[in-house]
Structure 1
Amino acid sequence: MDSAEILRLATLMADKIRARRPDIVSNVAYFKGTEGRMRFASDEFRDYFADRFSGFSDNWCMPVAQAPIERIHQLGIRLDGSTTADVESARMWERNEADRGLSEALMMMTVAKRSFGMVSPSPVGARVTFEHPDSACVIYDATTRQRRAGMVVWQDEKFEYSEFQTPQYIIPLKRPRFIRESGDKHVAPNADGWAFDQARELKANPLGAVPLVEFRNQALLDDEPMSDIAGVKPIQDTINLVWAYLLNGLDTASLPARIIKGIDVPKEPILDQDGQIIGERPIELDRLIRDRIIFIPGEGDVAEWTAGNLEVFSKVIGHAVEHVVAQTRTPAHYLIAASSNTPATGYELAEAGLVSKAAERISYANPSVREIYRLAAIAEGQAERAAQIAVGKVLWKKPQYRSEQQLMDGLQKMRTAGFPFQWIAEEYGLSPSEVDRVMEMKRTEERDPTMEQVARDLAI
């Protein structure tokens, strides 16, 4: 890859990042609840009631995105040919506090379609970080689907910088920033292109692979993964629109309205600059509507003034939430208050779709997590262990929730059927380090006659 090709790819990848940003910003804003607030069908309705209900909105995007991720817990990796989790990989993971980073990366993957992890060498061992999708990009070989190049960007007041990554080199680049008059800062398409940053050092890549690893959400054999909340956003807007009408209806129905018959609509004087009356005009109709006064000139009677049925609004909201449940495989009791006397089996059936969805997200993240472990081993100079990790098994906690009684009953039956105690401990959901600790305690117990007798008594 020559210099011209590097700069061409850098421009291509920066364009990809910039093109993705509006969608990322929108999805993250909906997830946080800062976008998708109270919606209004007309400008007139907004003028009357936007300020009144500005602090209220429903946010269904957050629970939909959180539901599968809160069930995904990475436990470690088991090397090829081993029966236990790799201890050195676990130490590396703990040293980098990667559990939290991975959880955030998976959340961004479901919300913003993709996220990234990156491995780099450091004096204390492999360093693992997780990158936001609005500042990172990976391109792939069209045939092998191997990572061809990676790019991470950042900026200061004058320049945009990037780290362009190939399997052979880590190349520093920079280019001038362009600032619009509106204050929205970005690099314009016609700005000066990327150039090699002479102030920073070009480095050889010791990993032999692009250190940036992409977490991609569900895709359809193309280069466009999907967001879990893409279908929720318009439904959420609809729900908040109905809420606006409902709150307006409640506000109108809860205050008295007046009809004044037999007189013309009152008028207000028009004053000149000296305060002298020079004419008159009808009172603004909008103000009369806000004050709930209707003037009916001439004679006549009011036949009926029936109150509106506001229940229809809440029914529409309920049906819209049911659409969210069906489209996203989120259990109804996550979004709607459920009866507390629902049997445990009922909850298990209701959560079957969510469990399946969490398992799918695990399958999407699995190759990327394994690759991070592999690159970390290479960064620590352990090529042989890296080769074992490449065909190892990433360990995840089961996404299904079961009551303690159900879990213990099932494990007891498995133990009776002859399953090893270590396997039982793993199925219980203990982390690999906790499994090792329990196994050591069990061995100590078996060597101590007193503890062995206590265990028999407890079993009885």
Structure 2
Amino acid sequence: MATQEQALELVDRLTSELINRRTEIDRNNDYYQGKQKLKFASTEFAKFHGDRYRDFSDNWVQVVADSPVERMTVTGFQASGEESADTDLWEVWQVNGLDADSQMGFLGSINSARSFLLVWGNPDDPDMPVVTFEDASQCIVAYEPGSRRNRRAALKTWQDGNAEFATLYLRTEVWKFARPLSQQTKTPQMADVDEAMSLWLPPGERRRRRSWEPRELNDEPNPQPNPMGVVPMVELPNKPMLVEEPISDVSGVTAMQDAINLLWAQLFTASDYASFPQRVILGAERPVIPKLNSAGEIVGTQQVDLDKFQVDRVAWITGKDARIAEWQAANLSMYTEVMEIAVGHLAAQTRTPQHYLIGKMANLAEGALLAAETGLVKRVQEKHLWSGQGLREGARLIALAKGQDAKAKALRSGRVLWADAESRSHAQMADALLKLRDIGFPFQWLALRYGLTSTEVADVMALKEKEMEMDPMGAVTQMMAQRPPAGGEEEEPADEDQDEVAVA
């Protein structure tokens, strides 16, 4: 068991690493929300037009991040050795609202390179643990040296009112700390700088300044024991690497997003100044008109207001050398053509179908549409694999929180059930399922393949049993009609040959 001094030291170190991560996390979240500053512009252009396009962005980052999330739907969990999905786990999943919150967790992982799943027992209902998805800006997991899976500590921090809170999860105990928030007028970036520089101080002085104090609660001790025996927080990485940190899908898109925003800014500027033919008068003085006094007498001349020409579209030009020249309008299509190329590069790099980005749909056959989405489907399936490991461990933590050690052991080698990542029409899906049934796949497996959750499959199976009880002969007839011939398509000629031999 760790001492309070050791726990505080660990909180300081984990908080320091969390601060280092927040810079990229905040930047990616800003890009996802369309808060994108104008970059790659020349000094002169940025000086005169930077403020004009301050609030504009042609936000492709959001499309790239959202496209895989809409195909990441968990439908159940199945323990090793079981023939069907676990209904108890699915009940915990739904009661905690994770069918919706999981979408936010997957999106957070795509944007911030990781998200987290936290499992803890519920004192009010021991059979219903509390399960939440956590943001990468608030949580961090420490692993054993040389391991990417064996967790030895986890930290969650958050702010509420004028205080900051931290919960440190260890294998055997849980520590809770709090500290007041100082200098509320500082920006989050400057607050992070202060936090980072405080780590340069000696541990004793640092602790005195930061004043983390144990958070005492009336109904629980601090520290409190961890009955699960493992760190109850799991990391869901996006594009994990063997040595380096996981990679966000957004990080590789920001540069091209900046280039597209600049092209739009230049196009708008050209459209404002040079999209119409510009005419200029050469060889003539600026037109003047007589200036009259109150008696109507000419007392001088005054220059014509040129703005009046723009309204009246009439000008009287005198002088033997006067002539009119014209400057051609700027070719704005060159900007749009470059932007289309940039969007195509972005689609190729992120494996996002171009019809998601460009918004144009031709008369494509279903096969061609599926081929166009192959890259996205493979990208989603990769994320199923990466997130599935963390979700499977989360399912094991749920079993441990409920005291079901045998189920927890079986879930270590279990699997997460996902809805099909391919987008198919109902006709295509029905045809594929019929062919799978014809070669012997069971109905329950087909129902899961169709995309039903484990609870819905159980309901369908119960309804089928009720139909058989109400009309057993009709059910048998239907089953016989659906059963494929034993010899396949060649069965009928074989029967004719047998009949001929019998007659002979």
The answer to whether the superposition gives a TM-score over 0.5 is: yes
Distance 1:220 1:112, change over 3 A: same
User: What is the one-letter code of the residue matched to 1:240?
Assistant: N
The size of the alignment, in residue pairs, is 427
The question of 1:141 aligning with 2:164 is answered no
The question of 1:344 aligning with 2:366 is answered yes
Distance 1:419 1:40, change over 3 A: closer
Quote the residue 1:452 is aligned against.
Answer: 475
Could you tell me how far apart the structure 1 residues matched to 2:435 and 2:478 are? 18
Could you tell me how far apart the structure 2 residues matched to 1:42 and 1:144 are? 47
Quote the residue 2:23 is aligned against.
Answer: 22
Could you tell me how far apart the structure 1 residues matched to 2:273 and 2:65 are? 36
User: What is the one-letter code of the residue matched to 1:136?
Assistant: C
Deviation at 1:244, TM superposition (A): 0.9
Could you tell me how far apart the structure 2 residues matched to 1:411 and 1:198 are? 56
Could you tell me how far apart the structure 2 residues matched to 1:89 and 1:424 are? 21
Quote the residue 1:167 is aligned against.
Answer: 171
Could you tell me how far apart the structure 2 residues matched to 1:198 and 1:422 are? 50
- Whether contact under 8 Å (1:11, 1:193) holds in the other structure is no
User: What is the one-letter code of the residue matched to 2:29?
Assistant: V
Deviation at 1:44, TM superposition (A): 3.7
Worse-matched range after superposition: 151-160 or 66-75? 151-160
Worse-matched range after superposition: 374-383 or 107-116? 374-383
Quote the residue 2:6 is aligned against.
Answer: 5
Residues 16-95 of structure 1: pairs in structure 2 closer than 5 A: 16-36=17-37, 39=39, 41-50=41-50, 52-53=52-53, 56-95=56-95
Deviation at 1:87, TM superposition (A): 1.1
Residues 355-370 of structure 1: pairs in structure 2 closer than 5 A: 355-370=377-392
Q: Deviations over 1:427-447 (max 9, x none)?
A: 212111111111122222223
- Whether contact under 8 Å (2:120, 2:130) holds in the other structure is yes
User: What is the one-letter code of the residue matched to 2:154?
Assistant: G
Describe the SS at the equivalent of 1:221.
Answer: coil
The question of 1:126 aligning with 2:129 is answered yes
Deviation at 1:161, TM superposition (A): 2.1
- Whether contact under 8 Å (1:218, 1:225) holds in the other structure is yes
Could you tell me how far apart the structure 1 residues matched to 2:215 and 2:254 are? 45
Distance 1:54 1:345, change over 3 A: same
Describe the SS at the equivalent of 1:77.
Answer: strand
Residues 421-460 of structure 1: pairs in structure 2 closer than 5 A: 421-447=443-469, 448-449=471-472, 452=475, 455=478
Describe the SS at the equivalent of 1:430.
Answer: coil
- Whether contact under 8 Å (1:26, 1:35) holds in the other structure is no
- Whether contact under 8 Å (1:98, 1:129) holds in the other structure is yes
User: What is the one-letter code of the residue matched to 2:13?
Assistant: L
- Whether contact under 8 Å (2:276, 2:328) holds in the other structure is no
- Whether contact under 8 Å (1:359, 1:399) holds in the other structure is yes
The question of 1:241 aligning with 2:262 is answered yes
Deviation at 1:50, TM superposition (A): 4.7
Larger Rg over CA atoms: 2
Could you tell me how far apart the structure 1 residues matched to 2:173 and 2:152 are? 12
Structure 1-normalised TM-score? 0.85
Describe the SS at the equivalent of 1:90.
Answer: helix
Distance 1:50 1:264, change over 3 A: farther
Please, which of 137, 144, 158 is the counterpart of residue 154 of structure 1?
Answer: 158
Describe the SS at the equivalent of 1:398.
Answer: coil
Deviation at 1:60, TM superposition (A): 0.8
Deviation at 1:103, TM superposition (A): 1.2
Please, which of 357, 376, 398 is the counterpart of residue 398 of structure 2?
Answer: 376
Q: Deviations over 1:171-213 (max 9, x none)?
A: 0123454437645445533252564415343111111111111
User: What is the one-letter code of the residue matched to 2:66?
Assistant: Q
Could you tell me how far apart the structure 2 residues matched to 1:87 and 1:68 are? 27
- Whether contact under 8 Å (1:165, 1:210) holds in the other structure is yes
Deviation at 1:325, TM superposition (A): 0.9
Deviation at 1:416, TM superposition (A): 1.5
Q: In structure 1, list runs of 5 or more residues that go unmatched.
A: 267-298
Describe the SS at the equivalent of 1:218.
Answer: coil
Describe the SS at the equivalent of 1:226.
Answer: coil
Deviation at 1:3, TM superposition (A): 3.7
Structure 2-normalised TM-score? 0.78
- Whether contact under 8 Å (2:275, 2:331) holds in the other structure is no
The question of 1:326 aligning with 2:348 is answered yes
Deviation at 1:115, TM superposition (A): 0.9
Could you tell me how far apart the structure 2 residues matched to 1:183 and 1:445 are? 65
Describe the SS at the equivalent of 1:236.
Answer: helix
Describe the SS at the equivalent of 1:33.
Answer: coil
- Aligned CA RMSD, in angstroms, stands at 2.7
Q: In structure 2, list runs of 5 or more residues that go unmatched.
A: 199-205, 288-320, 484-504
Distance 1:459 1:375, change over 3 A: closer
Deviation at 1:372, TM superposition (A): 1.4
Deviation at 1:304, TM superposition (A): 5.6
Could you tell me how far apart the structure 1 residues matched to 2:439 and 2:107 are? 39
Could you tell me how far apart the structure 1 residues matched to 2:50 and 2:284 are? 33
The alignment-based identity, stated in percent, is 35
